[in-house]
Amino acid sequence: MPPAAGYRPSLAILELGDGFYDVVAPAKFPRHVRRFRNQRWAARVGLESLDDAEWERHFAAFESLPANLPERLALRYHGHQFRSYNPHLGDGRGFLHAQLFDAEDGRLLDLGTKGSGQTPYSRGGDGRLTLKGGVREVLATEMLEALGVYTSKSFSLFETGEALERGDEPSPTRSSVLVRLSHSHVRFGSFQRHAAARDAERIDRLLAYATTHLVPENGPSADGFLRAVVRRSARLAASWIVAGFVHGVLNTDNMNVTGESFDYGPYRFLPTFDPELTAAYFDETGLYRFGRQPAIVAWNLERLAETLALVAPVEGLRAALEGYESQFQELLTAQLLARLGLAPRNADDDGELLRTAFSFLHERTVGYDRFSFDWYGGDASRAMSGSAAKGYAGPSFEAFRRRIADYAAVAPERLALPYYRQAGPCSLLIDEIETIWSAIDERDDWAPFEAKLEAIAELRSANPELVARGRQS
């Protein structure tokens, strides 16, 4: 059957022309077993009417969508990886499959792959994705969306029937191919590639594409573009902190100019507030630990500014960067209020609430998710009668309690929802993910995975204002 009426394809990426991508062929897999289909977001892009066979053809065999890209495109980029410049990057196990518009807000979106086979940038890798990696990414994107983070969406996951050898997990292991829906795949590293070649013409071309289709709010100038990316990136960093999320690999090739979080490898969610928590076992110095993420985003923005210096005056770019810290603090406060379901008061009071909340959380007496769950709506009587009540004590807690008493709930009636009447919050800690994976790996039992997705959906429906913040570009 044809796509629904909301399907609006695009060929915008072809405007860039030569030098930005390579045509590649998708791998042919021995099996296609669908494990996840995001029907909510399929409806946002007019693909909800595809039947099972059509879904498989388009998102496992990668047949072109109607009137969409005729060929698969592996995108070119460079990047700083752990602050060392790497000129040998690019889409090594994925490609751009299609472009289409969000039927609700008109954004241009990309459908890209992960685990779809080798490309010119595979660098000796097999171009595949483990099933565990696919499951972890589905869980990450669903949870982050529910916590108000502007994130890519896991659109489709198929198990593909291959046995993969991996040094960092028991092998052989099962394989998968993921399709993610993203607000573009233009990375900071996309600009870095052309800056390394001193190719001002291609930087101008990429800038025009980005300001036309992705980041239009400040017009076509390089400094206006950078100001917009700074604002979007500050929002992203703030939302990670409030969500208690550690991305793990914040290289410049893993940052998108739209301010969208994506590409989830060794991520973690905080059990308790811990600025030192490091997600990646290979991050031996803790460069990308939880508490450093805002500073890393700032450093990466400086690298983007350097690329734009080939086509714009440095003074305007420096001025654009200077707004990052103040915007991060402003957005951090707003994000925390949204997660707690509280109406803002004024800048001074809101900033003090933020300070006292994080001062208390620093003591790690209660879980990070537990804190937001217990104090949603500022309901002290509810928090102090719960199972974690004994952790709410001491001078730092009393300072927080005095502050939150002045705040009104955005929607106090939500405290009657089943989510807020249950014993504790929905979380996605590493031991929970491992338990979900063990059931799949050992017994092919997908019930814990489905149950977690249902729990996340309930969380998502319990705080729509927070979720809406994650949809703001």
Task: Give the chain's count of helices (H) and strands (E).
Answer: 17, 13
Q: Is 377 left (phi over 0), alpha (psi -120 to 50) or beta?
A: left
Q: Helix, strand, coil % (nearest 5) of the chain?
A: 45, 15, 40
Amino acid at 375: W
Q: Are 62 and 26 in contact (CB under 8 A)?
A: yes
Per annotation, catalytic residue among 102, 110, 253, 350:
253
pLDDT at 1 over 70: no
Summarised one tens digit per residue, pLDDT across range 259-285 is 999 999 999 999 999 999 999 999 999
Is residue 321, in this structure, part of any structural domain at all? no
Q: 150 is in which domain, residue-wise?
A: 9-186
> Based on the structure, what is the number of domains in the chain?
1
pLDDT score, position 473: 57
Q: Which of 53-62, 162-171, 387-396, 433-442 has the lowest mean pLDDT?
A: 162-171
- Residue 139's SS3 state is helix
In 309-367, alpha helices (H): 314-322, 324-340, 347-361
Average pLDDT over residues 149-166: 96
**DSSP characters for 423-443?**
SS-----HHHHHHHHHHHHHH
Is residue 277, in this structure, part of any structural domain at all? no
What distance in Å separates the CA atoms of residue 144 and residue 152, rounded to the nearest whole number?
9
Amino acid at 193: R
Structure tokens at 185: 């795949």
Summarised one tens digit per residue, pLDDT across range 197-236 is 999 999 999 999 999 999 999 999 999 999 999 999 999 9
Is residue 235, in this structure, part of any structural domain at all? no
What distance in Å separates the CA atoms of residue 430 and residue 473, rounded to the nearest whole number?
29
Average pLDDT over residues 387-395: 91
Average pLDDT over residues 394-407: 96
Is residue 55, in this structure, part of any structural domain at all? yes
pLDDT band at 472; cut points 50, 70, 90: low
pLDDT score, position 381: 82
Cβ-based burial of 416 (10 A; exposed 0-12, middle 13-18, buried ≥19): exposed
pLDDT score, position 193: 98
Is residue 335, in this structure, part of any structural domain at all? no
Active site residue 406: no
The pTM for the full model equals: 0.97
Is residue 452, in this structure, part of any structural domain at all? no
What distance in Å separates the CA atoms of residue 305 and residue 324, rounded to the nearest whole number?
13
pLDDT score, position 223: 97
What distance in Å separates the CA atoms of residue 189 and residue 369, rounded to the nearest whole number?
33
pLDDT at 147 over 80: yes
Is residue 473, in this structure, part of any structural domain at all? no
The number of angstroms, rounded, from the C-alpha of 375 to the middle of its chain's C-alpha atoms is 25
Summarised one tens digit per residue, pLDDT across range 159-182 is 999 999 987 778 899 999 999 999
Structure tokens at 87: 């000129």
Count CB neighbours of 66 within 10 A: 10
Is residue 450, in this structure, part of any structural domain at all? no
